[in-house]
Amino acid sequence: MPITQTREIAAAGRLENVRYAIRDLACVADEVIRQGHQVLPLNVGDPLNFDFQTPPHIIEAAYKAMRDGKNGYAPSPGVPEALEAIRSEAARKRITSVHDVFVTAGVSETVDLCISALVNPGEDILTPKPDYPLYSAVLCKLGIALNAYDLAENDGWQPELADIARKLTPHTRGIVLINPNNPTGSLCSRQMLEQIAELARRHNLVVFSDEIYDKLILEENTPHIAFAAVAPDVPCITFGGMSKNYLVPGWRIGWGIASGDAVAIKPYVEGIHRLLRARLCANHPEQYAIKPALEGPQDHLIEVRRKLRSRRDLTQKWCESTPRMSCVAPRGAFYAFPRIDIPESDEVFVKELIRQKHVMVVHGSGFGQKPGTQHFRIVFLPDEGTLTKAYAGIAEFIRERYESS
Ligand SMILES: Cc1ncc(COP(=O)(O)O)c(C=O)c1O
């Protein structure tokens, strides 16, 4: 028998503020499922949970790579064929000043590596509020204090330049743009990108432009504008990946495109490569699907966008006709972020909605939002029948909880 009792092992204090609201709600849903109910999942942005299928030629390419023995470690930056395809993709995105490209295990790893390679203790990175929670999680992990700038709801969720200017400190090293945006579905205007570029030049910032949804633009005749195309001189890492555009989130394939003044960005890119080598490599066989995905048939995107437009329109119409709700119409990706006027927190709203109507959305406070406002995020990937049923449940919940007295 050991003479001392094993004591509790505390997690690092830095993790105190790490939240991932999207998955944290799962405990409440599990409770409801255990009671025998079916939950309508409007919470996770995985198209493969719904009526979207991975293009077969992409699966074939990964399968062939496995059969051909591409099962060992890959080169740390990625396999040459994939890197070449990503460079061609950068050219199609009109990014002319490409300095380097590298493959990662999803955009999640690109975010982690690129932020870790830049910030020192005491420095900060500007992140949007609301944001995709991975950014704040990575910063917490590194012990970096959050410095979030507002997106302006009354201006189509564009970054609020005056707030960015207020939040800049002498220790700010970079700024994150998510375009198209999760959770708001907004797109940055060219003018906004130009203004952010000007700010980045003045303050010597690296711009992290998360463009993982760049092929899911829901407006007709509205091309996506890459930040790095607007500002070829500004040090920028453009994040892209296969999860959303090519319907393989489980493969974990993403990439970074480093652009900007070659001399200025060189030491930073070398830092990224040190981390790329330390983590060995990204998933190997799946990298052979990058070229067929980016350069092969794109037909599936027409069908994906058609479905998403119809589901976005249904969602927007419902938001506009439901008491206590308003919503900036989403223009890209598959998220809507309606505002709700209720006398309690949006977290209580969301948890009670799961318990009472078995509909799962995510509370706005899980993404960060302006104090005094409440929102929730809808993933409008499910088919129209499921969405209609879910929206009827939410409307009934609002009526019963806030309107009847
Ligand atoms: C804005 C944004 N960036 C990055 C990611 C992570 O993507 P990946 O699956 O490539 O890690 C997501 C996933 O939902 C996202 O919405």
Mark the ranges of the chain whose per-residue pLDDT is less than 70: 1-3, 20, 22-23, 405
Say yes or no: CB of residue 178 within 6 Å of ligand 1: yes
Residue 324: the pLDDT is: 94
Say yes or no: CB of residue 160 within 6 Å of ligand 1: no
Specify which residues 236 forms β-bridges with: 207, 259
Nearest to 349 by CA among 374, 332, 317, 319: 374
Residue 405: the pLDDT is: 62
Say yes or no: CB of residue 47 within 6 Å of ligand 1: no
Residue 232: the pLDDT is: 97
Sequence-ordered alpha helix ranges (H) in 177-234? 190-203, 227-230
Task: Calculate how far, in angstroms, residue 107's C-alpha sits from the geometric centre of ligand 1.
Answer: 6
The owner of tokens 């489980």 is 250
Say yes or no: CB of residue 255 within 6 Å of ligand 1: no
DSSP per residue over 327-390, as a string? -PPP-BTTEE--EE--SS-HHHHHHHHHHHH-EE-EEGGGT---TT--BEEEE--S-HHHHHHH
Residue 398: the pLDDT is: 95
Q: Whose CA is nearest to atom 16 of ligand 1?
A: 182
Packed helices 106-116 and 262-278: angle between N→C axes, nearest 10 degrees: 120
Atom of ligand 1 nearest to the CA of 253: 10
The owner of tokens 């930056």 is 77
CB atoms within 10 A of CB 189: 14
Residue 22: the pLDDT is: 66
Ligand 1 pocket test target in 43, 48, 108 with most atoms within 8 Å of CB: 108
Say yes or no: CB of residue 113 within 6 Å of ligand 1: no
Q: Token pair for residue 208?
A: 């992290």
Residue 126: the pLDDT is: 98
C-alpha span between 26 and 125 (Å, rounded): 30
How confident is the model over 258-291, as pLDDT tens digits? 999 999 999 999 999 999 999 999 999 999 999 9
Give the pTM: 0.96
Atom of ligand 1 nearest to the CA of 45: 14
Residue 26: the pLDDT is: 86
Say yes or no: CB of residue 183 within 6 Å of ligand 1: no
Phi, psi for residue 148 in degrees, rounded to 5: -100, 135
User: Hey, what long-range contacts does 263-271 have (CB within 8 A, 24 or more apart)?
Assistant: 264/235, 265/99, 265/206, 265/235, 266/99, 268/117, 268/118, 268/206, 268/235, 269/99, 269/100, 271/117, 271/118
Say yes or no: CB of residue 212 within 6 Å of ligand 1: yes
Specify which residues 125 forms β-bridges with: 174
Say yes or no: CB of residue 132 within 6 Å of ligand 1: yes
Determine if residue 72 is left, alpha or beta; phi over 0 gives left, psi from -120 to 50 gives alpha, anything else beta: beta
User: Hey, what long-range contacts does 137-144 have (CB within 8 A, 24 or more apart)?
Assistant: 137/18, 137/19, 137/20, 138/111, 138/112, 139/115, 140/14, 140/15, 140/16, 140/17, 140/18, 141/14, 141/15, 141/18, 142/14, 142/115, 142/116, 143/14, 144/119
C-alpha span between 257 and 107 (Å, rounded): 11
